[in-house]
Structure 1
Amino acid sequence: LGKTLAKKGHKIRYITPLYQAVKDLQLPLHLHSTLGPIYMGSYPESVTVYTLAQPNDSIVYFISHPVFDRPGLYQWQGVDYSDNAYRFLLFSKAALELCNAWGPNLDVIHLHDWHTAMIALLLQHQSNHNPTHTYKPITCFTIHNAEYQGVFDVAVYQFTNLPWDYFTMEGVEFYGKVNFLKAGIGFADAITTVSPRYAREILTPEFGAGLEGYLQAHASKLAGILNGIDIEEWDPETDPWIRHHYNAHNLAPKLACKQDLQMEVGFPIQPDTPLFASIMRLTEQKGISILLPAIETVLSHHNIQFILVGNGNPHVEAAFKNLAQRFPQKFHMHSGFNRALSHRVEAGADFFVLPSRYEPCGLNQMYSQRYGTLPIVRRVGGLDDTVIDIADDPARGTGIKFTDYSPKALIEAIERAISLFNNKQAMEYYRRNAMHQDFSWDRSASAYETLYARTIRRLKQPALKI
């Protein structure tokens, strides 16, 4: 988003922790300043700020402190760091100090997920109670996944240095604990999710993760704006990770990509066998509880091939690896994520399966369509927003959708795909439909420009004189 907004002429500044993983890249960072004291309760902290220049006059500001010098961003070996509340409160306070230094030059602070949500509350309190900060930029808070809320013991509230007035049901209190996500929902000037349908879904008990009532109370400032994808990286005409390049007007090389992929994973090279694929975290959110039995059934009754790339729950990984041993010429499991392989899978597969229990946005279904690989998705969140079912709209269809969260519904969707694959003319028609979809960030950036401008007008509009 920032990259596209910068291309459109906006002055973009990014603020992020200087994680160990970033340090390991040995980027040409420049020392900018030291900020402090930053009080965390009664304890004074200080942070070091580094910068990195980006195209279109953008700058990344990295906040450096020992709490970010760890092998994982938020957790290690599946366990969250016990001081995550402290880490991201410190980051939030440092980021706000940077924003304060920019003063009236700053129009919008765009916050993401619970890790930065407290900035909305800190800024609101500062605006109300600190006469030296008379200017307040608007805040836009994006919820990428409402399940992840940053809920901590009440003891961490002392590190906010805020009065207890905010520790209420209307504020950040949540069943006697502190809920960081509530700070963003309650105190940001605008709230977005990463797809239109997900914005509607989180207002319901099924998807609201316990915050549906609070979200309903703030629904007037909630909007769903679909994420975009990097169409320069994900481009079958120029992709450096594939040997054969193609586009919607010349699909023939896609078959060569399929044969390369079959050879790479040890499958028989069979151009007339439908090749299915999934790239995912092996979690319940991504639908593993229906994917495993569905694949097992389809492999037993149909001549297909299936490639799964991902990792997660060790027991689930073991179950899929067992499936690969039972069907070595039909099922392949690659444990872990591999960027190059992901590109080759998108280019070589015929269908891409995403059976998520819920999906705020999803990216792979958009990558897939860009590569003429038809997605099979459940009608939730961004999956529903980005795929047009060929039965719902035979003229504009781009994939296959199913509704029930069950192995039976997924099996039926895969069997629809097998029938479609056997109709070569229809298959080519829908591939081209999919490849003509626009999932660039240009559309999303324009929607955010409109949202920012509307929010600024709403909040800056002078009171009527009577």
Structure 2
Amino acid sequence: MAKQRILMLAPEVAPFKKVGGLADVVSALSKSLVALGHDVRILMPRYTEMQAFEGAQALERPLIVRLGGHEAYGRIWQHCLPGTEVPCYFIEHNQYFGAASVYVGPSGNEDDNGQRFTFLSRAAIDFCEQMDWIPDVVHAHDWPCALTSVYMNTTEARRPMGRAASVFTIHNLEHHGWFHRSLLQFSGLPESVFRSDGLESMGELNMLKGGLYHATKITTVSPTYAREIQTPDGGCGLNALLRFRSPDLIGVLNGVDLDEWNPQTDPYIGTHFSAQDLSGKAAVKARLQQAYGLEVNPQRPLFTVVSRLVNQKGLDLLAACCERLMSEMQIQIAVLGTGEPNLEYRFNELSARYPGRLGAYIGFNNELAHLTIAGADCFLMPSRFEPCGLGQMYAMRYGAVPVVRATGGLIDTVAPFVEGAGVGTGFVFQQASADALYYTIGWACATYYDRPEEFKQLQQNGMAGDYSWNASAKKYESIYNWAITSRQAAFV
């Protein structure tokens, strides 16, 4: 396949700035595409607090961003993804990105996100033209970058960037980017795009909706999620639009960074192990138990969570059944995450009530996240919906057997356990309820105690899976070619 020029546009990219899985996806996919021979360049904001940013260099020429009736100026910094030659560019603009947060700007007011991310979407166009590098494809990620394809179809239609194809990836359809219609004047987009088959939604401007209408092709992060979002239950009000765009919509499973998530080399876990020799996992489990103040007991099954503490992740279901679990099963639970205050409070309370058996760390710590996954016997993801999920794939890499609900990418990646057959990689349940989660944890617990050889087979099955980006990157390669061909046909 011919070499493609790809601009990867995202609000967060690991390791520079990470809020969720989107950051990991952009980084790992970019590296995999470069390995396939493509010219990939990443563009993202520069926030005040960045990781691995040492050595970045500022370009001498400022970036001029053409907005509605005025120009804004930013500074461009250049670096590479650590350990690679994948070029990354960072837009510095203190008014829009002069804060540590990704999704709340310097004013602390989320309403400012309309201007912040309009600026980012427009900046992608002007960046390419100023660098005299016109991509074949602009790959934009989630609602903060959705207006880029709208610009490409309107103000840029007769300019060089208007001939590029656009691919838009939905990481989580729940987040739309709603703003007052006055944002249209700030953006410089024509009034004609503010209509029901464009940016307008219930009288307001919906960035995500506009991106879905205008993108050449649309992807999301698992085949099952691609089907779910076309239904009333999963479509977050956009199911009719997504059914309309279904010929251009495809679900592609995310992969994981096998260099970072590798039980044989992981620097954060202390003792290494493999599917062929699991003996080192016991020492990691003991270290994990110590980290959470749990009883160091190799015989107790240890269930862990590394997640945003939100209802989408089904963690209210776990909180609701924890007391029954503690009173009726001989298990341990460790929870790492931050999110909704009521869930943070609840897990702290449970940790205080059941010392030595249930531990909680409210916050995020990358080293502890690795340890919490690597030392677990089982990994809990009872999500109400899950576009793809990376945690379950990380867990299987480390011999932590997933307990998941049958939704989205979870059912696409975790094969249901079949007792007595040596088949499966995890324990899967259907209903989003505390009872269903409770009984499935009980099933996992009984398998751990009563059928240890079957439990070990589950671990080894999971560790043998291929979770690399190789196959997914090749699918994106084909999608880009599909988008380029489609875009070129529009200019014939």
TM range (shorter): over 0.9
2:473 to 442, 445, 448: 445
Deviation at 1:450, TM superposition (A): 1.3
Please, which of 386, 405, 409 is the counterpart of residue 436 of structure 2? 409
Structure 2 counterpart of 1:59, one-letter code? P
Partner of 1:3 in structure 2? 31
Contact 2:41 2:89 in 1 (8 A): yes
| Equivalent in 75, 82, 90 of residue 62 of structure 1 | 90
**CA offset digits 1:182-203 (Å, max 9, x no partner):** 1211011110011111111111
TM-score, normalised relative to structure 1: 0.94
Instruction: Give, in angstroms, the shift of residue 428 of structure 1.
Output: 1.1
Match for residue 374 of structure 1 among 390, 401, 412: 401
For residues 300 and 72 of structure 1, do their structure 2 counterparts lie closer, same or farther at Cα, with a shift above 3 Å needed? Answer: same
Q: Which of the numbers 205, 211, 220 marks the counterpart of 1:178?
A: 205
Does the CA contact (< 8 Å) of 2:58 and 2:75 recur in 1?
Answer: no
Cα 1:111–1:463 shift into 2, 3 Å: closer
Amino acid at match of 1:88: F
| Counterpart-to-counterpart distance in 2, 1:98 and 1:390 | 50
Q: Distance in 2 between matches of 1:238 and 1:29?
A: 31
Q: 1:312, CA displacement in angstroms? A: 1.7
Deviation per CA, 1:414-461, whole angstroms, max 9, x where unpaired? 011011102111111111100011111112101101111222233335
| CA gap 1:156/1:392 in 2 versus in 1, 3 angstroms | farther
Residue 454 (1) aligns with residue 482 (2): yes
Determine the structure 1 residue equivalent to 2:187. 160
Distance 1:182 1:410 in 2: 34
CA contact (8 A) 2:134 2:164 kept: no
Say whether the 8 Å CA contact 2:384–2:432 is kept in structure 1.
Answer: yes
Q: Distance in 2 between matches of 1:97 and 1:26?
A: 26
- Tell me: CA distance 1:25–1:14, structure 2 relative to 1, closer, same or farther (3 Å): closer
Choose from 82, 90, 100 the match for 2:111. 82
Query: 322, 329, 332: which is aligned to 2:356?
Result: 329
Out of 422, 431, 448, the residue aligned to residue 459 of structure 2 is: 431
Contact map agreement 1:19 1:73 (CA 8 A) in 2: yes
Range 154-163 or range 48-57, more displaced = 48-57
Change (3 A) 1:152 1:310: same
Shift in CA distance, 58/264, structure 1 to aligned 2, threshold 3 Å: closer
Within a 5 Å distance, the mapping from 1:21-100 to structure 2 comes to 21-22=49-50, 25-36=53-64, 38-54=65-81, 57-66=85-94, 67-75=96-104, 80-100=109-129
- Which blocks of at least 5 consecutive residues in structure 1 are unaligned? none
* 3-state SS of paired residue (1:21): coil
Deviates more, 1:325-334 or 1:19-28: 19-28
Partner of 1:247: 274
Tell me how large the CA RMSD over aligned residues is.
2.2
How far residue 73 of structure 1 moved from its aligned partner, in angstroms, is 1.5
Of the structure 1 ranges 72-81 and 239-248, higher mean CA displacement relative to structure 2 is found in 72-81
Aligned to 2:14: none
In structure 1, the residue matched to 2:392 is 365
Q: Flag the 1:98–1:260 CA change in 2: closer, same or farther, 3 A.
A: same
Query: Shift of residue 237 of structure 1?
Result: 0.5
Quick check: 1:223 aligned with 2:238? no
1:163, distance to aligned residue in structure 2 (A): 1.9
Q: 2:149 aligns with which of 97, 120, 125?
A: 120
Deviates more, 1:320-329 or 1:99-108: 99-108
Superposed CA offset, 1:233-270 (max 9, x none) = 11110111112111010011112211222233222222
**Is the contact between residue 303 and residue 378 of structure 2 (CA under 8 Å) also seen in structure 1?**
yes
Does residue 1:309 correspond to 2:336, yes or no? yes
Q: Name the aligned partner's letter for residue 125 of structure 1.
A: T
Please, which of 249, 254, 269 is the counterpart of residue 296 of structure 2?
A: 269
Q: Which runs of 5+ in 2 are unaligned?
A: 1-28
Q: Which residue of 2 aligns with 1:205?
A: 232
Q: Deviations over 1:381-428 (max 9, x none)?
A: 111111001139944400011110101100111011011102111111
The number of equivalent residue pairs is: 461
Alpha carbons of 1:184 and 1:236: their partners in 2 closer, same or farther (altered >3 Å)? Answer: same
1:108 aligns with 2:137: yes
SS state of the match for residue 75, structure 1?
coil
The partner residue of 1:138 within 160, 165, 171 is 165
Report the CA distance between 1:105 and its aligned residue: 5.1
Structure 1 SS opposite 2:231: coil
Change (3 A) 1:78 1:342: farther
TM-score (norm 2): 0.89
**Counterpart amino acid of 1:210?**
G
Q: What amino acid is aligned across from residue 454 of structure 1 in structure 2?
A: W
Worse overlay, 361-370 or 47-56: 47-56
- Alignment identity in percent? 36
Distance 2:336 2:479 in 1: 37
Alpha-carbon distance change, 134 to 273 in structure 1, aligned in 2, over 3 angstroms? closer
Residue 23 of structure 1 and its aligned partner are, at CA, apart by 8.4
